[in-house]
Structure 1
Amino acid sequence: MESGRWDELERRVAALEAAAGRPAGPGEKDPTAPATFWALEGLRPQAQGSGAVVYAGTFRSEAGEVDWQYAHHVDDLLGAPDAVAGVDEGADRGDLAQVAARLAALGHPARLAILAAVLRGHDRTADLAELLNLGTSGQVYHHVKALTTAGWLRPAARGQVAVPAERVIPLLVAMGVSS
Structure 2
Amino acid sequence: MSDQETTLREELSELRGRVSALEAAAERSATLPAPEPLQDHDTFWALNELQSRLHDHPSTVDGVVMTVGSLTLPDGAPVAWQEGLATAAMLETDWSDQAAAFAALGHPVRLELLRHILSGVHATAELAQIASLGTTGQLHHHLRQLVATGWVRQSGRGSYEIPAARVVPLLTSVMSAQR
* Alignment TM-score > 0.5, same fold: yes
Q: In structure 1, which of residues 36, 39, 46 is the aligned counterpart of residue 46 of structure 2?
A: 39
Aligned to 1:176: 175
Distance 2:117 2:41 in 1: 35
Deviation at residue 34 of structure 1 after TM alignment: 4.3
Distance 1:156 1:38 in 2: 37
SS of equivalent to 2:172: helix
Residue 65 of structure 1 pairs with residue 78 of structure 2: yes
SS of equivalent to 1:133: helix
Residue pairs, 1:2-41, within 5 angstroms: 34-41=41-48
In structure 1, give the amino acid aligned to 2:121. Answer: H
SS of equivalent to 2:130: helix
**Where does the alignment leave 5 or more consecutive residues of structure 1 unmatched?**
1-32, 81-91
Runs of 4 or more above 4 Å deviation: none
Aligned to 1:76: 89
Q: In terms of Rg, which structure is larger?
A: 1
Distance 2:82 2:140 in 1: 31
Aligned to 1:104: 103
In structure 1, give the amino acid aligned to 2:166. Answer: R
Deviation at residue 114 of structure 1 after TM alignment: 0.5
TM-score by length of 2: 0.68
Residue pairs, 1:29-178, within 5 angstroms: 34-44=41-51, 45-46=53-54, 48-61=60-73, 62-78=75-91, 80=92, 92-93=93-94, 96-178=95-177
Distance 1:109 1:118 in 2: 14
TM-score by length of 1: 0.68
Q: Deviations over 1:17-52 (max 9, x none)?
A: xxxxxxxxxxxxxxxx84332111221132724311
**Where does the alignment leave 5 or more consecutive residues of structure 2 unmatched?**
1-39
Cα RMSD after superposing both structures? 1.8
